[in-house]
Each structure stands twice: as C-alpha cells, then as structure tokens.
Copies of this chain bind each other. A is one copy, B any other.
Amino acid sequence: MTKIHPTALISGDVTLGQSVEIGPFAIVNGPCRIGNGTKIDSHCLIGEGDLAFGATVIGENCHIRSHSIIYFGVEIGHSTQTGHAVVVRAESKIGANCMIGTSSDLQGNLTIGDHTRLHSDVHLCSGSNVGQFVFIYPRATFTNDKYPPSETTCGPTVGDFTQIGAGSLIMPGIEIGKHCLIAAHSVVTQNIGDDTFVKGSPAKSIGNASDLLVDGQALYPWPKRFARGMPWYDALSSDPEKASPFE
C-alpha cells in the first residue's frame, strides 16, 4: 500500500508502484514513474526543470533522502540510494544498487554504472561517464571545460572498479581506466591506463595498483577483500580465500 503524506504534493502524470512512500512537504511532478517499494523522503523535489527531457524514472526499492532534487529526464535503476540534498539534472542515467552521497551534484547528461558509490559532495560535470563498481570519495570534482568558457565541453570517463580519492580533481575529457587508484587531492591531467596508481598535482603514476603492498599484502584489485553490498558478498563470506570473481 502506498503511503503518501497528506502534505506531499503530487501533480501531473505520476505512476506510483506498490508500497511507495512519499514524505512530508515532498513534491512529485509528472511525468514521473516510481517503482515498487521506493521511498521519497521529506522536502524532496522530484520532477524539475524542462518537461521536454521526459519523465523522471526511479526504479524499485530506491531511497531518495530528504531535500534531494531530481530533474525530468533522469533515470535511476533499482535499489539505488541517495543521501540528503542531492541534485541530479536532466539526461542522467544512474544504474542499480548505487549510492549517491549527501550534497552530491550531478550536472546532467551523464551516466553512472551499477553498484557505483559516490560519497558526500561529489561534483560530476555534464558529460561524465562513470563505470560500474566505481567508488568516488568526498568532494571529488569532475570538470569538462579546458579553456573556459567554451561551447566544446567534454566530461571525464572512469573505468569499472576504480577508486577516486577525496578532494581529487579530474580535468576535462580525461579517461581513467579500470581498477585504478587515484590518491586523495590528486589533479588528474592525463589519461590513465588500467590498474594504475597515481597521486599528486599533476597526478603522476606510482606504478600498478595491483603491485601496491601493505604489510606484504596486495590490496588491489579490491573486490577480493571488500564485499559489503556487493554481488559477491555471499561468496566471499563463505570462502574468503578465493570467492571473489576478481581474485
């Protein structure tokens, strides 16, 4: 049974699945489709901007936390969560099982793969393409305009499983490979191949991420040691030695 708070405002062509919950002082403007079991918390604004971008589509079992703003023309996969005061502009396609941290600002015209996690206050510029299983830490910033202001912007691309440290800045059009490790506060000015560990401003390669040893142990690729919320959680728990598909 849906639970729509009496103060919530629903208008236009809105389709709500079963057991959807809409919190107090929330606004849902159609066209909008919200999947079964999804929760929209208080003070949210769903359906903003230009109707020409089409419906806002939020999958099943999502949780959009309070004060968040999702534009028209955004598509969010099932089981994805946001923190508070997240902004997602038009033409954004976010995968399933993602987490988008508090105050993150997704400027639209971008894609995010499944199981990707943005921590707090991540800024993704228009044109960003982020793969699956990517983790981006607080206050990382993606940029898209090399000689501003211009009309020829190009967002960064990030490969699957890559970790982008807190406060990093990714320059326009940069391509970062899979399984990379970008140290905190790095400024990435050149393309980076798979499995590379970089740090600094401008970021320089320290070597392969998979060669990084801590107490004699290789910590990367990380899926062999971290599984919380990941599809290989059950497998890794039952046989930590070799359960991960990424061993």
Contacts and interface: CB of A to CB of B under 8 A. Distances in A.
Interface residues of A, number: 54
Contacts of A21: none
A98 interface: no
Interface string A146-176: 0111110000000000010111010100000
Number of copies: 3
Nearest to A138: B123
B27 A27 contact: no
B123 A120 contact: yes
Contacts of A138: 105, 123, 125, 141, 143
A102 interface: yes
A59 B114 CA distance: 42
Interface of A: 7, 9, 24-25, 27, 42-43, 45, 48, 66-67, 69, 83-85, 87, 102-103, 105, 107, 117, 120-121, 123, 125, 135, 137-139, 141, 143, 145, 147-151, 163, 165-167, 169, 171, 184-185, 187, 201, 212, 214, 219, 222, 225-226, 228
Given A67-B67, A147-B219, A169-B184, 18 more contacts: A7-B9, A25-B25, A25-B43, A42-B45, A48-B66, A66-B69, A67-B69, A69-B84, A85-B87, A107-B120, A138-B141, A139-B141, A141-B167, A143-B165, A147-B214, A148-B222, A184-B187, A201-B201
